[in-house]
Amino acid sequence: MKISRKVKVKNAAGLHTRPASYIVQILQGTLSSVYFTCRKEKVNAKSIMSLLTLAASKNSLITIDVEGEDAESIVGKLVEAFEKQFWEA
């Protein structure tokens, strides 16, 4: 299964180390391939260093692409994390 979703970075500090590490934790042990695209740069979302290279500031749009057996579950968790500002608010 392949799923794509667009999310907006709502955190005041953007996609910094804490949210990036939370994303990597969500993706540990998943069977799917997960990529984030921001401003035409596509990175492996399972790598904290790759996520940080996106330099996604507040209000940046990110496309989440997930392909694999557990895609639906993963997308749900990631969208919720972005919506809730990674519980930083």
Count of beta carbons in the 10 Å neighbourhood of residue 86: 20
Catalytic residue among 9, 16, 20, 27: 16
pLDDT at 88 over 90: no
Delineate the domains of the chain, giving CATH numbers in brackets. 2-87 (3.30.1340.10)
Q: Which candidate, 1, 7, 2, places its Cα nearest to that of 80? A: 7
What SS3 class is residue 79? helix
Q: Which tokens in the block code for residue 22?
A: 């939370």
Whole-prediction pTM: 0.94
Q: Residue 79: which residues within 8 A CB-CB, separation 6 or more?
A: 5, 7, 64
Sequence length of the chain is 89
Which region, left, alpha or beta, applies to residue 45 given φ > 0 means left and ψ of -120 to 50 means alpha?
alpha
Told to judge if 16 belongs to the known catalytic residues of this protein, a careful annotator would answer yes
Q: What is the pLDDT of residues 43-87, one digit of tens each?
A: 999 999 999 999 999 999 999 999 999 999 999 999 999 999 999
